[in-house]
Amino acid sequence: MVLSRGAMAAFRLALIQLQVSSIKSDNVTRACGLVREAAAQGAKVISLPECFNSPYGLKYFPEYAEEIPGESTQKLSEVAKECSIYLIGGSIPEADAGKLYNTCAVFGPDGNLLVKHRKIHLFDIDVPGKITFQESKTLSPGDSFSTFDTPYCRVGLGICYDIRFAELAQIYAQRGCQLLVYPGAFNLTTGPAHWELLQRGRAVDNQVYVATASLARDDKASYVAWGHSTVVNP
């Protein structure tokens, strides 16, 4: 997807809809391979999906959690530098000072960590007969806004459930962001109902581009993602 608007320079954005297995090293290796593929096709900003190195689920977060920097983010840093791109590292379960977070690390073309976004709004939901999920049982919420600058535009970050909160997008737009990126993993209940609707709402209200990178759908997984990674224009 080539993005351009007003003073925003045109560039190619790639969203990687990754199928995640139970083997962390395989997930990271495949993710980095797809980053290289996207960069070879001219992408300058690339996003991975939420929880790209781990199955998505309360029982998996403690088992797969790692510090940042750590093994997974080190690989992201290396591939960002190798390909000279901005890499939005989806998210991983992050361990820090005895707490767990759902965290997105962003790396620049020099491989340096630009910003770390901890999911602010945790996914606690109970739809009778459909889905019950409570991230707050194992994860702690982030408490900060996260933006970074590229030569093309300023980018604001959220993770999945963060997209439901219009105020976050409004603040990012007020702070000069022209692109909002939400790595996510909506499910087969919330996905068809609200995934596209929320992106279009955030985009048109704030006159920004909105992009979402989802996990690929795996019908055998304990949590089945909706997929449908999307870019919406203003």
Annotated catalytic residue: which of 119, 135, 153, 177? 119
Are 123 and 110 in contact by the 8 Å Cβ rule? The answer is no
Beginning with the edge strand found earlier in the chain, give each strand of the sheet holding 209-214 in spatial order: 147-149, 154-157, 177-184, 209-214, 230-232
DSSP one-letter code for 68: S
Whether 160 is catalytic is: yes
CA distances from 14 to 73, 85, 218, 228 (A): 19, 11, 21, 13
List 24, 44, 50, 51, catalytic entry: 50
Note whether 214 and 185 are within 8 A (CB): yes
Distance of alpha carbon 174 from alpha carbon 136, whole angstroms: 29
Tokens of 184: 């996510």
Whether the Cβ atoms of residue 52 and residue 18 lie closer than 8 Å to each other: yes
- Which of 51, 83, 160, 177 is flagged as catalytic? 160
**Residue 119 is among the residues annotated as catalytic for this protein:** yes
Residues 149 and 95: their CA atoms lie apart, in Å, by: 26
Annotated catalytic residue 220: no
Helix or strand or coil: residue 183? Answer: strand
Residue type, 145: F
**Which residues are the active-site residues?**
50, 119, 160
